[in-house]
Amino acid sequence: MIRALALALALLPLPAGAESIVAGLSQSSVSITADYAGSEILIYGAVKREAPIAPGRSLRVVITVEGPDLPVVVRRKDRIGPIWANTDRLRPGPVPSFYAVASSAPLDEALTPEEDLRHGVTLARVLRSEEPTSQPFMDAILRIGTAEGRYFTQENSIALTEETLFRTDVALPAALTEGNYTVRLFLTREGEVLDTVKRTIWVRKAGLERFIYENAHQQPLLYGLASLLIAGFAGWAASALFQRMRW
């Protein structure tokens, strides 16, 4: 019955003008200042079409936000005698420091496995290894990243109105890595991707944070000596202050 329906739907002529996606972000840059404690990005947009909405066929929106890729080492502990020690390790190459997936419906409904493979949308797909022996290590990256709040999937979190307007909020955590965050938006029907759009959020340290970070990397020796000077002065000042208070 379902198969027959799907066949019938597939035979229907497609609308003359295909549907495409228009998107915007509430902010295209995030400044990390000293009081930065996470921020929320509003991602919104609309479906642009020439023809009337095709009836009965489910329109879905899937959004991913991906942080800069960083090289990692994954180690596994094993029991050697009475103690636990690192025995195996894997260097899987760069993996995303942050990855969020939001969708307007359950993901398996919004996206076919083939389309997931083609575009690399879900976390399980992004962290998939070719070799079966390294898959447990990739699973560990996913598990630990999820526990730390750097990876998450929010199904049904996109509000889609009249198959045309959509919006969602994605929370960026307080422990944020500097770099370019890529936002990808997918418009799907029956799990097939109709259109995709890419946007970028620039995450940069600002103010004091920028100043300290740059000096630490460009003048490491001076930076080290400066931190010693601060330590020395603070130590002396506390001693002098307490001396004056006489106790």
What residue ranges bind another protein (CB under 8 A)?
32-38, 70-78, 82-86, 89, 91, 136-137, 140-141, 143-145, 174-178, 205, 208-210, 212-213, 216-217, 220-221, 223-228, 230-232, 234-239, 242-243, 247
- Residue 117 CB, nearest approach to another protein (Å): 25
Instruction: Kindly list the distances between the CA atom of residue 22 and the CA atoms of 14, 177, 185, in Å, as whole numbers in the listed order.
Output: 20, 28, 9
Q: Under a CB-based contact definition with an 8 Å cutoff, are residues 175 and 124 in contact?
A: no
Give whichever of 89 and 118 is closer to another protein, judged by the CB atom.
Answer: 89
Place of tokens 């198969």: 3
Give whichever of 6 and 80 is closer to another protein, judged by the CB atom.
Answer: 80
What sign results for the dihedral spanned by CA atoms 114, 117, 122, 127? positive
- Residue 29 CB, nearest approach to another protein (Å): 16
Instruction: Assign 234 to helix, strand or coil.
Output: helix
Tell me the C-alpha distance between 40 and 125, whole Å. 25
Give whichever of 24 and 207 is closer to another protein, judged by the CB atom.
Answer: 207
Structure tokens that stand for 128 in this block: 């998939």
- Residue 219 CB, nearest approach to another protein (Å): 10
- Residue 148 CB, nearest approach to another protein (Å): 9
Give whichever of 169 and 209 is closer to another protein, judged by the CB atom.
Answer: 209
- Residue 157 CB, nearest approach to another protein (Å): 24
Give whichever of 6 and 225 is closer to another protein, judged by the CB atom.
Answer: 225
Tell me the C-alpha distance between 175 and 181, whole Å. 14
Tell me the C-alpha distance between 47 and 103, whole Å. 15
